[in-house]
Amino acid sequence: MRRRRHADSSVRKPAAVLLVGIFCMNVSLTAVRADTTSADEAIEARVVELIGQMTLREKIGQMVQITAPGGVPEDLRNAVAAGEIGSILNVVDVDTANELQRIAAEQSRLGIPLLLARDVIHGFNTVLPIPLGQAATWNPELVERGARIAALEAATVGVNWTFAPMIDITRDPRWGRIAESFGEDPYLTGQLAVAMVDGFQGDDLAAIGTIAACVKHFAGYGASEAGRDYNTTNIPENELRNVYLPPFKATVDAGVVSLMASFSDIDGVPASGNRFLMQEVLRDEWGFDGLVVSDWVSIEQLIDHGFAADLREAAFKAADAGINMEMVSRAYADHLAELVQEGQIGVARIDELVAGILRAKLGLGLFENPFTDPAELPEIANSDHLAVAREAALQSLVLLRNEGGALPLDADALDTIAVIGPMADDPYEQLGTWIFDGDPSLSVTPLQAIRDMVGERVEIRHVRALETTRSRGTEGFAEAMEAAAEADAVVLLLGEESILSGEAHSRANIDLPGSQVELVHRLREAGKPVIAVILAGRPLTVQNILEQVDALLFAWHPGTMGGPAIADVLFGVESPSGKLPVTFPKMVGQIPIYYAQKNTGKPATPETWVHLDDLPVRAVQSAHGMTSHHLDAGYTPLFPFGFGLSYAQFSYSDISVSADVIGMEETLTVAAVVSNDGDVAADEVVQLYVRDLVGDVTRPVRELKGFERVRLNPGESRTVTFELDAAALAFYGQDMTLITEPGQFHVWVGGSSDTDLRAEFTLAGD
């Protein structure tokens, strides 16, 4: 078999093109490249000059990151002046930030400024939906805008480095940090990751209001066993390269300043001491010359892993692997100098690691201007920022069920609405995980937004029913039942509090916690339409309430402006347009379940699986179980990746390919017609999937290769096209080389990963 080997491990992405016109733009790429090259050369010359002037102690100081003690105590002042600190975490006071930068610039021997870092994960004071919710927008441009406002707000207090985006692929919703991820798919994650990096870093990294991004966690953290945070990961190298690494490669190609090492080990080697990841892949293969920071105390934790005997050995293994900077713990500060002096680590290695840090600081323009003037930046939580937060929340909402057209509600046809549940009016909990700087006073809750929406026309009966989502009592149910019985419709705001997801908050049971399931069943007895809205940090197993509600809207943790977005959808001001970035299982026992599975030698079909209740008594053992499925859950999820309902009715037809056979140097155009057969204008996310039928290694049954958000008026049809080339079909084979093989392919276009509108083509060898 002839196949193409790719020297570069990057995979060129297919562009989705709407047939709405062709735009031409003349850009002097030569001039742009010349300017970039000149700037890079100037930075490199300055790096060499600085390293040549630095003492070993000053070099190691650049590799040390501490957490802010509050204010500028004397010992911190002295350490910064002595050049013993390269970065400080969690300074969020502009006066403190400026004083620390003044000491570094004016009192340290070489005037090297500080990296001031903060976890700006999904907003600063203005909070956007959790990243998993932003992924549900399938809108890179909107994700970029959200990161931009987060950068602008964080920059007002002196922050110049954020530990985001988190781009770990995860297929286990038990893992608490799925909330910080973009979901299960490498392609979607890569597109959104690059967008977020661009939002933080802008077109000019040195411009006022830009901050350095840090993609994390390198690598494979989302595969933690049993979904337990910090846990072991065992990932074959082929799966690592085909699934977990591509988003990181995409951001490296896009110019991300830094990466963060994972807490977990990977195949027995903790990431913070993993030379294969940090040196062979990241530096040698990908050519990354920037900054890699450990996670919080993760170098010291090499001892807990059983990978290092003590801090001295931990320092050696981390530096040898290629960790430029140590977060919080003291292995580098206390042991690198002696390791160099004893010849175990060469000065050249230290110089390489320090160079990555200096490049980041020079690229940010900190040497020219380390100080922050908030007056040069937009006002925090201004109307533009709130508008972006609202649009992100709106596009993140995923309608999972809408029986009998229960939604949208018609305010003019209702006298009373019962708004019930612990998430209806909680300004803090709707913000989600990891929002140290989020301002709950800015939050507009669903209850408030519903009241604003209906005004005096409709009476709102609000009952919390449960104090928190974890409450197990039922004492509030009677009042809730009374309100439901007297209402024309029930809007039930359920979910999980923000603390139930995020770092260190994994769950083995991902049902609605507390007494919420019982509350749903009790309210159903009132006989009124029940509209459930779930605010959560992960997919939940909602099969136990699905038949008890007329409509189910999944809102994730939607952030500051979640309330107005939810109200807009409930009352039909906007149609829901979010699509799932992660598969929803029927029950926990199906995990991991994801769309891009392998076919196996015995693939399940609707005709071949039998539910355990249908098994004959005393059946012969060989009579059943001949395909890959669970007897009690089948082989399909509750809701597939890419799924999301609309108030419009979209249909797909007339899929075509530009050629039945293409060569390795040719591009294939895939086209399909999408039509709005409904009576409202709405957005639809059109998705392209591909299957390589035969490969050097087995390939997934489907892989996302393109998507496009389109807006169609009632009765409107549009042809949407996607382009695929050989590089877009590449994968890592048995020898871990990126290849594109000739052969037969299937291609689908539709509104989710389970679409059946298919075409075929063949890729010919050279």
- Please tell me the distance from the alpha carbon of residue 440 to that of residue 424, in angstroms, as a whole number: 14
- 11 pLDDT more than 70: no
Catalytic residue among 119, 198, 295, 683: 295
3-state secondary structure of 195: helix
Strand partners, 731: 739
Q: Which of 388, 383, 452, 497 is nearest to 127 (CA)?
A: 388
- 36 pLDDT more than 70: no
Identify the pLDDT of residue 734.
97
pLDDT in tens, 121-178: 999 999 999 999 999 999 999 999 999 999 999 999 999 999 999 999 999 999 999 9
pLDDT in tens, 604-646: 998 888 888 988 888 777 655 588 999 899 999 999 999 999 9
DSSP labels, 94-114: HHHHHHHHHHHHHTSSS-PPP
Spacing of C-alpha 102 from chain mean position: 36
Chain mean pLDDT for the chain = 94
10: confidence class by pLDDT, cuts 50, 70, 90: very low
Over the Cα atoms of the chain, what is R_g?
27
Identify the pLDDT of residue 584.
98
The tokens for 543 are 């099969």
The tokens for 735 are 């020898």
Identify the pLDDT of residue 625.
59
13: confidence class by pLDDT, cuts 50, 70, 90: very low
Strand partners, 67: 89
Within 10 angstroms of residue 473's Cβ, the number of other Cβ atoms is 11
Identify the pLDDT of residue 47.
97
Identify the pLDDT of residue 21.
31
Query: What 8-state DSSP symbol labels residue 544?
Result: H
Identify the pLDDT of residue 478.
97
467: confidence class by pLDDT, cuts 50, 70, 90: very high
Pairing of strands 682-692, 703-712: antiparallel
End-to-end, the C-alpha distance of the chain in Å comes to 11
Identify the pLDDT of residue 1.
37
Q: Which of 320, 324, 334 is nearest to 276 (CA)?
A: 320
Respond yes or no: is residue 320 known to be catalytic: no
Identify the pLDDT of residue 24.
32
- Please tell me the distance from the alpha carbon of residue 130 to that of residue 557, in angstroms, as a whole number: 6
Instruction: Name which of 291-305, 461-475, 600-614 the model is least confident about.
Output: 600-614
Q: Give 543-548's long-range contacts (Cβ < 8 A, gap of 24+).
A: 543/586, 543/587, 543/638, 544/511, 544/512, 544/517, 545/512, 545/517, 545/520, 545/521, 546/401, 546/638, 548/520, 548/521, 548/524
pLDDT in tens, 561-582: 999 999 999 999 999 999 999 9
- Please tell me the distance from the alpha carbon of residue 62 to that of residue 80, in angstroms, as a whole number: 10
What domains are defined for the chain? 4-11+648-763 (2.60.40.10), 58-376 (3.20.20.300), 389-570 (3.40.50.1700)
Identify the pLDDT of residue 621.
77
Identify the pLDDT of residue 766.
73
Q: Give 473-477's long-range contacts (Cβ < 8 A, gap of 24+).
A: 473/515, 474/515, 474/518, 474/519, 474/522, 477/515, 477/518, 477/519, 477/522
Strand partners, 270: 265
Identify the pLDDT of residue 39.
83
Identify the pLDDT of residue 104.
98
pLDDT in tens, 422-440: 999 999 999 999 999 999 9
Say how many residues make up the chain: 766
Within 10 angstroms of residue 589's Cβ, the number of other Cβ atoms is 11
The tokens for 574 are 């906007």
Q: What percent of the chain has pLDDT over 90?
A: 91
683: confidence class by pLDDT, cuts 50, 70, 90: very high
Instruction: Give the residue-averaged pLDDT of 83-112.
Output: 98
